[in-house]
Structure 1
């Protein structure tokens, strides 16, 4: 949908990027920018930067970048129109009725058609479950103690035993092979069309607005895999969706119950625990944690009580904590999962287990304790050392003391001895970390300088464009030397056009406004973000910085003139270019 530039700018400028991204990512101020763990790729060390001055974000790890509009588009999987509407509503702006561009219309139409196909398939599966052909799937669900009301609430269904039943049904409804293939419901290759799901109990997967975006299927009888999910599509990203979230988000409980599978979520909702969610056939990710944080501040992990479930809980805990969530872990022993527990003891007993759920750190120390034989003094000491090492990870002294007291009491460790061990380890750890950090910084500095030296022409153009944008008052000579045409790369040329136009008109360039021209193309958008996040290390003196910028300008100008020499056919003009090229080598380039 087309909106005038001034409307796009109004929406962008009235949505502060730090405020918006803070709803999704835990940010910490560092210098003039904010940093957090990137929501677009898995990482442990925060490399995701948000600049309040430039109103842009950029990940130094994966290269994702843009302004507040592109963040909402990328994170929420929104179209441009949906992102505009979301941010306009947030800022209290009434958008004008606007026309769509051809590309925006095509993308919006595609999403609409995919939603239609998924909705049609969900109705088809729902109907088949309640026919004689779906009797064995219905018996399976009934044997799992699911009521008709619950099955209706979750839209449960059945895919027939025939491998092309859904395909033939949807073709009769007028859907093309292309759209069916993109839906993930049908595979179309040289062997012909085949349903992805057949002879399975079907679980529609819905987004937060209760729109069907994918499916999970549990095989009836023998077959592998036991559970199968829709593939990634324009609608479905399993790393950013949670099963049951469309219902859990309206719960009045102050926490979410985090489960492992569909049946656990459904069983808990049926028992009255309407805050249960589960990841979708994939390990728990930072994207899942950030999605949860939008609705609650606490998560109670209720994974299976077997070894695999405990390991999964240990992996999920740091991810949830990094997102700023409080975490507890529920003990379901002697039962394996929530479904089995509730069938055996009922909802009231399960609520007692929720109330008794232990702090995640104590769960971790309990898990560590199971690895050691306390009848062996050596092994017992090793346990004490491992727990002490974990306690040194708390940087806040009061928090560390509180956990120290709790761990000492729980595992019958003399508090004074544990405190002495923690303090001794903490001292060594600080020295070791300091040394490691110094070595790491030195390596990074050497690597950065080598990269800045070897990056080449594109790096030079990025560096110069960012400097001219950030320091227009010191860039007059640079702009006089380097015309827009000197920026030969397509994206950089467009950036130079906009930045130079602003400066010629007496306006300060706004990087986030420049980004508006690149909203539709992710690759170009990331290149633009990289331009406005390319700068020289503060380790350089001002004199060194001027020299580096001057040499970068010389290389960019030289490259442009070399191209002109190769293209020019007029002898007079060619001689002029050659002379200018010769003078460039001795030209003194300075910053105003």
Structure 2
């Protein structure tokens, strides 16, 4: 169900943004706004601003911005409906009852029941761990040097040796076989019923909202498989969830550590590295990368230092690059995994390794080099050719040049020789190589075109910011600028609402933002418009000149665009007259 705009706005208006955000962030009043440390990135000096007048927040450091609803969505990782319900309850607003189809209602009820059963199962496993029957599991965790606080924090437990122990417990709670079959916790067949997990240390798997969606189990003894995960269910998709992300997303670090297993994540969190996550018994996927991208654009791979760990890192690097991540790889030597490293060398040494983590491309070259004997001329030449091919993976000439210099320096390869090899190989493969002069000129022209396009956007963005900050300016542009002069679709949509709101005397930036709440990129861009401020007084001569020039640019670009899309000679003639009249246009702030 989609809530009406009136219902959404009622919830927003009854939740003062300063009160809402103060529940999460310590704010201090400075002038008309409040400031605090941004909860969405790590910073030492407050750049997170909350405006009670606009009922909006904006971080000048990372660009996060929005209203009370989007803040709860981003901080809690809630959907729009979930955030709206939380704020509605907070303000005592009764939202319209959602009307589902019979099928949709059944699906919602099923999900709620599965979550309820998983929560019960997690509590049951924890209970077993702390009782005599769980002594084997508890001893294993303590031998791994996990504290009781850590065991509680991650909800660790134990599944008994009895093969239908959990099934009988859940049946006793009133759940029938039809629903239990869908939990992934039990197997019900004609030949009998038995638990999915038994005689295992249990790791509840939580989604980002701390709801138990599945389980992992580590066998006690020599049974196989050593680690076992819940099967795919209505709740659990291992390719779209990451172990530990419910805690890691709240870390104030600028990066996330990716490791291989549950114990690595838990050991790292216990040692203070609360930004560690792991995939759930599956290879790292594009969905995992996209999920992480919501919280950071920097990751450090801390996979095992053995052959399997190296292969996992090499698989993950291109996936992470595809979503625009900055990637580094941590050197675990002489230990196999983070758990062993921290136990032997300590958290401080691990922190130093994080600082020294290797650029992912140079790490790939490191691994590549191991396949060649560098004292053999033939193999050395083959290695150089492979390095050149890798360098051709960079489509941008500047980035390729920077890496060419780095590889030359790091691997003691003559820079000019390597550059010639890259160019020659690029030509033979029909790829860009290092740009020729003709390509550079083409790129320069392309850059000029891009700069012009960016200038057009900047002018429209700047004008909208002026109008939002100083409504008196509407009188100055009356009869000259209309919403149709904002030729960027997003800015046109915002301008239309801003102009309409001003005309009605109800200009409300926080309400306007509600219209863009389902598109992360758009609402960030709009929030930036609404929370920008003018750096100079309107009486300043430079400010006056800048305002006049901005009006001229917006109008000229609008008319140029209209002339290119004119239909008919009469319309074109009208546009030409308006273009000619621009030289006499005089917009003054006086």
Query: What is the TM-score with the length of structure 1 in the denominator?
Result: 0.58
Q: Per-residue CA shift, 1:17-60, capped at 9, x if unaligned?
A: xxxxxxxxxxxxxxxxxxxxxxxxxxxxxxxxxxxxxxxxxxxx
Cα drift, residue 328 of structure 1 = 0.3
2:387 is the counterpart of 1:387 = yes
For the aligned residue pairs, the C-alpha RMSD in angstroms reads 2.8
C-alpha displacement of 1:281: 0.5
- Residue 355 of structure 1 aligns with which residue? 355
User: Relative to 1, partners in 2 of residues 1:244 and 1:362: Cα closer, same or farther, differing over 3 Å?
Assistant: same
Query: Could you say what secondary structure the match of 2:181 adopts?
Result: helix
Displacement of 1:94 after TM fit? 9.6
Change (3 A) 1:3 1:414: closer
The residue number in structure 2 matching 1:308 is 308
Distance 1:102 1:81 in 2: 20
| Counterparts of residues 227-238 of structure 1 (less than 5 Å) | 227-238=227-238
Structure 2 Cα separation of the partners of residues 8 and 328 of structure 1: 46
Residue 164 of structure 2 corresponds to 164
Contact 1:79–1:108 under 8 Å retained in 2: no
**Structure-1 separation of matches of 2:81 and 2:100:** 9
Q: Deviations over 1:380-423 (max 9, x none)?
A: 11101100111011111111111111111111101110011011
Q: 1:78 to 1:353 in 2, by over 3 A?
A: closer
Q: 1:80 to 1:333 in 2, by over 3 A?
A: closer
For the residues of structure 2 that align with 1:380 and 1:4, how far apart are their CA atoms? 65
Aligned to 2:332: 332
> In 1, distance between residues paired with 2:325 and 2:120?
37
Aligned residues of 1:158 and 1:202 also touching (Cα < 8 A)? yes
Q: How far off is 1:430 after superposition?
A: 2.2
- Give the whole-Å Cα distance in 2 for the aligned partners of 1:205 and 1:348: 29
Partners of 1:224 and 1:245 in 2: how far apart? 27
Deviation of the 1:98 alpha carbon: 3.0
Written as runs of structure 1 = structure 2, the 5 A alignment for 1:440-519 is none
Q: Tell me what 2:118 maps to.
A: 118
Q: Does 1:197 align with 2:200?
A: no
Contact 2:158 2:199 in 1 (8 A): yes
Question: 1:454 is matched with which residue?
Answer: none
CA distance in 1, matches of 2:7, 2:317: 40
Which residue is equivalent to 1:145?
145
* Distance 1:8-1:290 versus aligned 2 partners, 3 A rule: farther
1:261 and 2:298 correspond: no
Tell me the CA shift for residue 192 of structure 1. 2.0
Query: Do the aligned residues in 2 keep the contact of 1:115 with 1:211 (CA within 8 Å)?
Result: yes
- In the aligned structure 2, how far is the partner of 1:281 from the partner of 1:246? 18
* Partner Cα distance (2:252, 2:359) in 1: 22
Q: Identify if the C-alpha distance between structure 1 residues 407 and 208 changes in structure 2 by more than 3 Å, giving closer, same or farther.
A: same
Correspondences of 1:532-543 after superposition (within 5 Å): none
- The alpha-carbon distance between structure 1 residues 79 and 293, as it changes in their structure 2 partners (threshold 3 A), is closer
- 2:482 aligned residue: none
Equivalent in the alignment of 1:499? none
Residues 431 and 277 (structure 1), Cα distance of their counterparts in 2 relative to 1, 3 Å cut: closer
The whole-number CA distance in structure 2 between the counterparts of 1:288 and 1:431 is 31
- Number of residue pairs matched? 364
Asked if 1 retains the 8 angstrom alpha-carbon contact of 2:253 and 2:275, the reply is yes
CA drift at 1:96: 3.0
Once residues 311 and 348 of structure 2 are traced to their aligned partners in structure 1, the CA distance between those partners, rounded to angstroms, is: 27
Alpha-carbon distance in structure 1 between the residues aligned to 2:95 and 2:361: 48
Name the structure 1 match of 2:286. 286
1:45-444 aligned within 5 A: 96-430=96-430
Structure 2 Cα separation of the partners of residues 80 and 143 of structure 1: 44
Q: Residue 317 of structure 1: SS of its match in structure 2?
A: helix
Give 5+ residue unaligned stretches, structure 1. Answer: 11-76, 434-592
> Matched residues in 1 for 2:223 and 2:127: separation?
23
Instruction: Report the counterpart of residue 498 of structure 1 in structure 2.
Output: none
Q: Secondary structure at the match of 1:140?
A: helix
Structure 1 pair 360/322, CA: closer, same or farther in 2 (3 Å)?
Answer: same
CA contact (8 A) 2:7 2:95 kept: no
Cα 1:361–1:95 shift into 2, 3 Å = farther
Aligned 8 A contact 2:426 2:432 in 1:
no
State the secondary structure of the residue aligned to 1:240. coil
* CA deviation after TM superposition for structure 1 residue 80, in Å: 11
Determine the C-alpha separation between the residues in 2 that align with 1:95 and 1:285: 38
Partner of 1:577: none
SS at match of 2:277: strand
Distance 2:184 2:374 in 1: 53
TM-score normalised by the chain length of structure 2: 0.59
Deviation at 1:104, TM superposition (A): 2.1
Alpha carbons 2:8, 2:84 under 8 Å: kept:
no
Secondary structure of the residue that 1:413 maps to in structure 2?
A: coil
SS, match of residue 213 in structure 1: strand
Could you tell me how far 1:85 is from its partner in structure 2?
6.9
Report if aligned partners of 2:255, 2:296 keep a CA contact under 8 Å in 1: yes
Per-residue CA distance 1:276-330 (angstroms, 9 max, x = gap): 0000000000000000000011010000000110011000000000011110000
Question: Equivalent residue of 1:372, what SS?
Answer: coil
Query: 2:85, 2:248 → 1: CA distance?
Result: 24
Residue 239 of structure 1 aligns to a residue whose secondary structure is coil
Deviation at 1:332, TM superposition (A): 0.4
Gap regions ≥5 residues in structure 2: 10-76, 434-590
Residues 216, 227 of structure 1: 8 Å contact kept:
yes
In the alignment, the residues of structure 2 paired with residue 8 and residue 311 of structure 1 have an alpha-carbon distance, to the nearest angstrom, of 52
